[in-house]
């Protein structure tokens, strides 16, 4: 996370016209994704990073195979991530597979022989210090059945993500806005 903080500090201290902020945003997201995978011992498709666009839809930036699959309207109330964003509070669900939720994005890889459904999930809103909600991070555990997905998420694990994201949220938001990718 320190590498990510250094990059964000460098590029947000004094924005420059010759910097390609869309590239910086991609790098920031890639580093955040890798850090979350390493911190929680999960696979690439068990970490999702979503950002809110100008239409008030959530767009996937990670995992990469979901980038061009569509978006989730913020007004949609059956989505776990939109519930977290509407309340502005981190949420966890260790029985996610039995919770009614928007499963369309999970189904995208159903035909893949390595497909596993999400069994357990944490969702942490991306929130600036002035309470601007601009996206979310989801970290999940997948498995054929609940027992195969590994241990339950804890409040301490979720609080760790909350603290880490809070430490970079303002600069991350600035890079996101500078990247001018909010469609």
Range among 18-32, 36-50, 73-87, 107-121 rated most confident: 36-50
Which two three-digit tokens encode residue 141?
A: 């555990």
Name which residue leads in pLDDT, 10 or 108.
10
In a domain, 15, yes or no: no
Helix or strand run (H / E) with residue 51: strand 47-52
Strand 57-62's sheet: what is its strand order?
A: 71-73, 57-62, 47-52, 133-142, 118-127, 91-93
Number of folded domains in the chain? Answer: 1
CA angle 45, 108, 71 (to 5 degrees): 85
pLDDT, tens digit, 9 for 90 and up, residues 116-139:
889 999 999 999 999 999 999 999
pLDDT at 105 over 60: no
Helix or strand run (H / E) with residue 165: helix 155-178
In a domain, 14, yes or no: no
In a domain, 74, yes or no: yes
Q: Give mean pLDDT, residues 59-72.
A: 86
In a domain, 78, yes or no: yes
pLDDT at 54 over 80: yes
In a domain, 31, yes or no: yes
Expressed as residue numbers, the domain containing 92 is 2-9+20-178
Distance CA 176, CA 80 (A): 23
Q: How confident is the model at residue 109 (pLDDT cuts 50, 70, 90)?
A: low
pLDDT at 99 over 80: no
Q: Give mean pLDDT, residues 59-78.
A: 85
In a domain, 162, yes or no: yes
> For residue 20, what pLDDT is reported?
86
pLDDT, tens digit, 9 for 90 and up, residues 3-44:
888 888 887 777 777 778 889 999 999 999 999 999 999 999
Name which residue leads in pLDDT, 156 or 4.
156
In a domain, 183, yes or no: no
Least confident of 21-25, 72-76, 83-87: 72-76
Distance CA 162, CA 156 (A): 10
Say which CATH number the domain at 91 has: 3.30.450.40
The phi and psi torsions of 123 (rounded to 5 degrees) equal -130, 125
Name which residue leads in pLDDT, 2 or 154.
154
Q: How confident is the model at residue 182 (pLDDT cuts 50, 70, 90)?
A: very low
In a domain, 65, yes or no: yes
Q: Give mean pLDDT, residues 46-72.
A: 89
pLDDT at 142 over 70: yes
């Amino acid at each position: 996370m320190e590498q990510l903080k250094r990059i964000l500090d460098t590029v947000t201290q004094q924005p420059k016209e010759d910097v390609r902020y869309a590239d910086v945003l991609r790098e920031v997201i890639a580093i955040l994704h890798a850090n979350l995978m390493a911190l929680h011992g999960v696979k690439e498709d068990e970490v999702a990073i979503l950002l809110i666009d100008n239409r008030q839809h959530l767009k996937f930036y990670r995992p990469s195979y979901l980038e061009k699959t569509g978006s989730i309207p913020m007004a949609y109330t059956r989505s776990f991530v939109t519930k977290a964003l509407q309340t502005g509070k981190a949420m966890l669900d260790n029985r996610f597979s039995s919770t009614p939720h928007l499963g369309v994005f999970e189904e995208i890889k159903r035909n893949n022989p390595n497909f596993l459904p999400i069994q357990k999930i944490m969702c942490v809103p991306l929130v600036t210090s002035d309470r601007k909600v601009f996206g979310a991070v989801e970290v999940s555990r997948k498995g054929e059945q609940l027992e195969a997905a590994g241990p339950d998420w804890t409040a301490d694990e979720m609080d760790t993500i909350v603290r880490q994201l809070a430490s970079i949220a303002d600069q991350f938001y600035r890079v996101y806005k500078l990247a001018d990718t909010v469609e």
